Structure 1
């Protein structure tokens, strides 16, 4: 039995995976959607350097999980990629869903050369939190009005310290058994960093004809991709 640990990106919590979970459970696997500190129902829990990585490691160890597929969407690819190193032989595979990937000494905002100043300014103007997006930010991402309303209705401000802290990566990420899911409506090509990682024999690329939040726009297709990834030999 595979154990899926699902971690959504900025502003989101475990609730974001609601429509993905049933197909994973129906296939006989364990499903563990995780809300990171400071978000969703953990709003108000302090989140500083290393907190989100520890959240993921603690969940795996607390539940005694093995044969773990760690799934990180968007921002969450950064803590998930770091946690993957730390859970050792408990890890079966990592799935990065249209996500950032960690680089040693670099942060989430490091990957935003054109938008870094804007993100940092928004954090400074909102008491240390990155405010959730607006409906306009969700345009052209394959989402219905109902899906956008659900996404925005559940979103909470994201703790800024987790976006500016440098990642700690001890070994080349290309050594991890990994699948990268690229959502084509968001941007048709993987980032240069991801493209380089995809040259590794241990990495696989899968594309989805949807936008940046496939757990809302195409949850059953995303579930199928996760199930396929779990069965992929590293």
Structure 2
């Protein structure tokens, strides 16, 4: 039995995984969708990046979880990658879903140079939080009108410090057993950092013909990918 710990990206909470959960549970696994501090039902609280790392590791520690598959989508790949190091032999595999990956001493915005000034200005102008996307930002990602409406209704401002604080890695990320899921409508190739990690023996690449939010656009296909990744971690 695998313990899946699912962490969605910026602006989202545990609710974003609702259509992925049934197939994981039907396969006999336990699923832990998490909401990070400052988001969704925990919204309005200021949090830094290490707060989000602690959210994940504290959950694993508190419940004494083993055989853990940590799943990080988009922004959440950064705290998930750090948490994966810290839970040690309790980790079965880490899955990065169309996500950023942590680099020691680097932040979310430092890995996104073309948009850094825009993100930092938006945070400064919104009391320290990154405002959610608009419907126009979701175009071209295989989301229908109902899915976009659901996304926008649930999205909450994202704590800005989590995007600007640097990651802290204790060892090489490439030593972790990992699957990287590339959603092709959001770009045909992984970024350079991910491409380098994929040359290692412990990382594998999986592609999905969908957009950046597969938990909405292709939840059952995403569940199959996660189940296969869990199998690869055994």
* Same fold (TM > 0.5): yes
TM-superposed CA distance for 1:44, in Å, is 2.6
Q: Distance in 2 between matches of 1:233 and 1:210?
A: 24
The equivalent residue for 1:99 is 99
Normalised by the length of structure 2, the TM-score is 0.99
Match of 2:227 in 1: 227
SS at match of 2:186: coil
Task: State the partner residue of 1:115.
Answer: 115
1:89 aligns with 2:89: yes
Post-superposition CA distance 1:37-74 (Å, at most 9, x none): 00000013331241000000001011110000000000
Q: How far has the Cα of 1:119 moved from its partner?
A: 0.3
Aligned to 2:179: 179
Measured in 2, the distance between the counterparts of 1:2 and 1:25 equals 10
Aligned to 2:4: 4
Shift of 1:148: 0.4
Separation in structure 2 between the aligned mates of residue 48 and residue 137 of structure 1, nearest angstrom? 25
What's the Cα RMSD here?
0.8
Residue 209 of structure 2 corresponds to 209
Shift of 1:233: 4.2
Superposed CA offset, 1:147-180 (max 9, x none): 0000010000000000000000111100000000
1:1-234 to 2 correspondences below 5 Å = 1-233=1-233
For 2:95 and 2:34, the matched residues in 1 are separated by 15
Structure with the largest fraction of helix = 2
Provide the rounded CA distance (Å) in 2 between the counterparts of 1:94 and 1:13. Answer: 19
How many residue pairs get matched?
234
TM-score by length of 1: 0.99
Preserved CA contact (<8 Å) 2:78 2:102: yes
Secondary structure at the residue paired with 2:206? strand
Query: Cα offset for 1:27?
Result: 0.2
Structure 2: gaps (5+ residues): none
Q: Is the alpha carbon distance of 1:9 and 1:49 closer, same or farther for their aligned partners in structure 2, counting shifts above 3 Å?
A: closer
2:104–2:168 Cα contact (<8 Å) kept:
yes
| Structure 1 residue ranges (4+ consecutive) displaced by more than 6 angstroms after TM superposition | none
Structure 1 CA distance for aligned equivalents of residues 211 and 233 of structure 2 = 27
